[in-house]
């Protein structure tokens, strides 16, 4: 009987998150989007491999975007698509792709109807939010109506968390996932310096699993949580067992999971 071929491993799909805004870098506004995006994407098999916070400077946005969109399968940006003069993300994205930018007819209709319904004036500043790079497609925004947009592998979203989250839901059917990143945690009352050398040897034997060491303190007790991340559940279980055995070799009884 011929040997059966091993099942193909799911492909790895990667992403980068760009948070755009001087208000984040100054500390005036705390970023609440990265954790949400990373968790959301991991559930559908897209691994965030890099995240950057960059200022509202056109040259920086253009150069950074061109760098990361060539490196990753998807790029998600947040911030800089509002109605004010310093909301320059849409213009910078258009420049990065080498295309023009103008008012999108459908976006204008949506926003015009929205402001008519609310009784607010659809000012030239508000009309700025209907400007999309040529060739871009809208990302729906059920909350405040001003759309995000997709161009190539880049998804441009609002910085306001509630709006960004509904935009993620609106674009989800455009994303193709791959291998989902999984994790295991083993904790024990042991200093990370005590097991550092052995952990390094373990990492060398399991190159496909990321192994991180995180000290913790619980009153007078201290210890270390070893977190393993990878896409192969069986291999993660094997590495977790080896970490547990390593702790026992030092006279420490491990806990599977986070410390109590």
List Cβ neighbours of 74 (8 Å cut-off, separation of 6 or more): 13, 14, 15, 16, 41, 46, 153, 154, 155, 175
Whole-angstrom distance, CA of residue 120 vs CA of residue 111: 11
Tokens 């001087």 label which residue? Answer: 22
pLDDT value of residue 217: 84
**pLDDT at residue 182 in the model:** 86
- The pLDDT value recorded for residue 109 is 96
- pLDDT of res. 86: 87
Distances (CA, A) of 121 to 82, 111, 117, 131, 147: 16, 11, 10, 17, 18
d(CA 242, CA 236): 10
- Global confidence as pTM: 0.81
Question: What pLDDT was estimated at residue 181?
Answer: 81
Q: Are 165 and 159 in contact (CB under 8 A)?
A: no
* Residue-level pLDDT at 232: 86
Residue ranges for the chain with pLDDT beneath 70: 1-10
Q: Which CATH class is domain 13-174?
A: alpha beta
Helix (H) or strand (E) holding 161: helix 161-171
- Give the CATH H-level superfamily of domain 182-256: ACT domain (3.30.70.260)
pLDDT at residue number 13: 93
What residue spans in the chain does CATH classification 3.30.70.260 cover? 182-256
Q: What is the pLDDT of residue 230?
A: 86
Locate CATH 3.40.980.10 in the chain.
Answer: 13-174
């Amino acid at each position: 009987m011929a040997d059966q071929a091993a099942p193909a491993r799911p492909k790895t799909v990667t992403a980068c998150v760009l948070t755009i805004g001087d208000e984040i870098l100054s500390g005036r506004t705390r970023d609440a989007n990265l954790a949400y995006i990373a968790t959301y994407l991991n559930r559908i098999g897209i691994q965030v491999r890099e995240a950057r916070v960059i200022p509202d400077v056109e040259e920086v946005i253009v150069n950074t975007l061109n760098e990361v969109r060539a490196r990753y399968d998807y790029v998600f940006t947040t911030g800089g698509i509002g109605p004010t003069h310093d909301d320059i993300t849409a213009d910078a994205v258009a420049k990065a792709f080498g295309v023009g930018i103008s008012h999108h007819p459908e976006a204008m209709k949506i926003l015009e109807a929205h402001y008519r319904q609310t009784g607010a004036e659809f000012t030239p500043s508000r009309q700025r939010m209907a400007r999309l790079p040529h060739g871009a497609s809208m990302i729906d925004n059920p909350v405040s109506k001003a759309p995000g947009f997709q161009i190539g592998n880049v998804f441009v979203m609002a910085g306001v968390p509630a709006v960004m989250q509904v935009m993620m839901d609106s674009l989800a059917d455009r994303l193709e996932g791959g291998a989902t990143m999984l994790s295991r945690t083993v904790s024990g009352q042991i200093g990370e310096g005590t097991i550092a050398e052995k952990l390094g040897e373990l990492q060398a034997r399991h190159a496909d699993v990321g192994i991180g060491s995180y000290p913790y303190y619980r009153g007078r007790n201290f210890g270390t949580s070893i977190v393993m991340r990878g896409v192969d559940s069986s291999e993660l279980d094997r590495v977790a067992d080896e970490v547990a055995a390593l702790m026992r070799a030092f006279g420490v009884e491990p806990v599977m999971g986070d410390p109590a």
